[in-house]
């Protein structure tokens, strides 16, 4: 059971907009910023969104993040087949002397 809760799957057709939610608590998302990682099949994770809504250099503006209270979400607009991947939210958690926490991951399928 992951500390951050994500839906296990999401799907959309090319060109559509999809959102992936991430639910936490006061000790993690309620206190710290949220980061999102994309993991394409067979590859290492890649930073997609950091500090709730910041895109690293090279990440298309089709990807956006937001946070409200103890929840966060990742939005992908103009869905492309190359977006098919696993997406993970993550945050720091100040319970148990401090630790990093990930969501369980959401597998995005482009239909």
Partner 1 sequence: DVQLMESGGGLVKPGGSLRLSCAASGFTFSRYSMHWVRQAPGKGLEWVSCIGGSGRSIYYADSVRGRFIISRDNAKNSVYLQMNNLRAEDMAVYYCAAEIIAATVLDYWGQGILVTVSS
The tokens describing 33, both together, are: 């910023």
Determine, following the binding rule CB under 8 A, whether residue 44 of this chain makes contact with partner 1: yes
Q: For residues 30 and 71, give the distance between their C-alpha atoms in angstroms, rounded to a whole number.
A: 8
Determine, following the binding rule CB under 8 A, whether residue 39 of this chain makes contact with partner 1: yes
CB 6 within 8 A of CB 102: no
Determine, following the binding rule CB under 8 A, whether residue 105 of this chain makes contact with partner 1: yes
Taking the complex as a whole, the smallest distance from the CB of residue 67 to partner 1 amounts, in Å, to 14
Which residues in the 67-96 window bind partner 1 by CB under 8 A? 86, 88, 90-92, 96
Q: Which is nearer to partner 1, 68 or 97 (CB)?
A: 97
Q: Which is nearer to partner 1, 13 or 97 (CB)?
A: 97
Determine, following the binding rule CB under 8 A, whether residue 99 of this chain makes contact with partner 1: yes
Torsion over CA: 86, 90, 96, 97 (sign): positive
Determine, following the binding rule CB under 8 A, whether residue 56 of this chain makes contact with partner 1: yes
Q: For residues 94 and 100, give the distance between their C-alpha atoms in angstroms, rounded to a whole number.
A: 9
DSSP, residue by residue, 73-110 = EEEE-S--GGG-EEEEEEEEE-STT-EEEEB--EEEEE
Residues that bind partner 1 (CB under 8 A): 2, 32-33, 35, 37, 39, 44-47, 50-51, 56, 86, 88, 90-92, 96-105
């Amino acid at each position: 059971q992951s500390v951050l809760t994500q839906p296990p799957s999401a799907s959309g057709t090319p060109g559509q907009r999809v959102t992936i939610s991430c639910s936490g608590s006061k000790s993690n998302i309620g206190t710290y910023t949220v980061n999102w990682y994309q993991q394409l099949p067979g590859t290492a994770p890649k930073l997609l969104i950091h500090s709730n809504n910041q895109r690293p250099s090279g990440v298309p503006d089709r990807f956006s993040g937001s946070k409200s209270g103890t929840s966060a979400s990742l939005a992908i607009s103009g869905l492309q087949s190359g977006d098919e991947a696993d997406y993970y939210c993550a945050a720091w958690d100040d319970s148990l002397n401090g630790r990093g926490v990930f969501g369980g991951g959401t597998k995005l399928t482009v239909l």
